[in-house]
Structures are given as structure tokens and as C-alpha cells.
Amino acid sequence: MRAVRAYERVVEQVEEAIESGTLSPGERLPSERELMVQFSVSRSTVREALRVLQARGLVQSRPGDPNGAEVLPFTPAALHKSMTTLARVEELSLAELVQFRMVLDSAAILLAARLRTAEQLGEMERAVAGMRASVERGEDAFSAADAAFHEVVARTGGNKLIQICTDVVRSIVVRLISEKIAGAPDREQLMRRSIGHHEEVIAAIRAGDGPRAARLSREAMYDYYADYVPAAERGVLEALLD
């Protein structure tokens, strides 16, 4: 079993108090001296715990402030940061990340097909037009236009958690395979094939056919990413195909 460091014990208990509502946004933690006594630890341990809590967006601690650190309100930015940290840990394989993205994006697209407005559909179409125009400008421009499409889709569903998770997982997956894509001899062909998939998805969204749009999304993701996933792990992706 891994030994728990003293500062981690402080962090865990403060996190539990915030998550349970015992500590509310705007309230303050005990002073550094009080925390030292409460946990029987040194000042350096307390300061390390406060540093970690602040890095996680849970508290704000000002140097020299005689009062304790202030508990911060929940924000989407804090969740985004936590999700990014989680998605980057080595325990998550590329196959797991791609599988989660297939699930998440297809659900977002299902919602978009049922909830989209004419204006949002126009945004999606302009994003795909941007993908088409960026093929010859390189992978970065193409990736930015692709991100714009998925951002509109996630926003259309009106669920902030889906928006955050979509952005985090997509950016991590793209980062993991960016060098392989940039060096692929058929890079332009891959991009044009991706555009074709997006156009099929938009057609299904335009028709209000959510199940078809979601299925096409999963197939497109598999087509684009499967070759980068070890063959022995592709079964978790194939399980999502109809």
C-alpha cells in the first residue's frame, strides 16, 4: 500500500469538507497555525497542502494573509482543469480515451439533431467549410476548424459537463497522435475523408435523425483513430459500432 504523505492527508480532509458542504464557497479555512495544531504537522506541510488545494481551484491563499485560505465557488474552468489532469494520467490508454470520445460525441450529436436551431446548424456548416478550406494550410488549422464543429455540437445540447468533457478528451487524444498524423503520407486524404464524415453527420442533423447522426459519428471516429490504437485494444472501439 502507498504511504499517505502528511500534506495529502490535509488535502483529502479539506476536499471532503468542501464536497460534503461542510465548507461553503466564501468561507475560510483555519489559519496556518490552527491547521498545524489540528493535523499535528509542520508549517511547510500545511503550506504544501494549501498549494495543492489552490492549484486544484478549490481555495485561494494569499501570502501574508493572517486569515485562512478562502474556499472558492465551483467554476467550469476548475472542472476543466481537473478533467484535463485526469485524462493525462498514464493509467488511461489511447483506446480508453477514444472509446470515451466515441460515446460522448455521439451522445452530443444525438442531442444536437433534436435540439439544434437554424443558427446553430449554420455554425456547424461554417465550421466544416473551415475544415475544407484548411486542408492545404496544415494540421493545426484543420484541427482548429474541427474543434469549432465539435464545440458547436456540444454547446447545442446545453449541457456544460458534456461541453467540458468533449473539449478535454478531444484535445488530449489529438495531442497524443498529432505527430503520427503530421507524419502520415496520406495526411491530406485522411483530412478529406474526415470532412466527408462530417458532412454526412450534418446531413443527418439537418434531417433531425439523431440515431443516424450518432451512429455516423461513432463510425467516423473509429475510421479516423482506429489505426493509431493497438490492434489488441480495438475491440473496445468496435463494441460501439452497429
53's grid cell: 488545494
pLDDT of residue 1: 43
Question: Distance (Å, rounded) from C-alpha 97 to C-alpha 92?
Answer: 7
pLDDT reported for residue 74: 74
Here the cell at position 177 is 497522435
Strands, E assignment, the chain: 59-60, 70-71
Where along the chain do the CATH 1.10.10.10 domains lie?
6-71
The segment(s) of the chain belonging to CATH 1.20.120.530 are: 77-238
Low-confidence ranges of the chain (pLDDT < 70): 1-4, 63-64, 76-80, 82-91
What distance in Å separates the CA atoms of residue 22 and residue 17, rounded to the nearest whole number? Answer: 5
CB 214: neighbour CB atoms within 10 A? 25
At residue 199, the pLDDT reads: 96
Average pLDDT, the chain: 88
Rounded to whole angstroms, the Cα distance separating 7 from 46 reads 6
Q: Comparing C-alpha atoms, which of 166, 175, 168, 176 is closest to residue 80?
A: 168
Fold adopted by 6-71: Arc Repressor Mutant, subunit A (1.10.10)
Whole-angstrom distance, CA of residue 219 vs CA of residue 84:
25
* CATH number assigned to the domain covering 77-238: 1.20.120.530
CA distance 69 to 238: 48
pLDDT at residue 79, rounded to an integer: 67
- List beta partners, residue 59: 71
Reduce the DSSP state of residue 122 to 3 states and report it: helix
**pTM beyond 0.75, yes or no:** no
What pLDDT sits at residue 35?
Answer: 92
The pLDDT score that the predictor gives to residue 171 is: 84
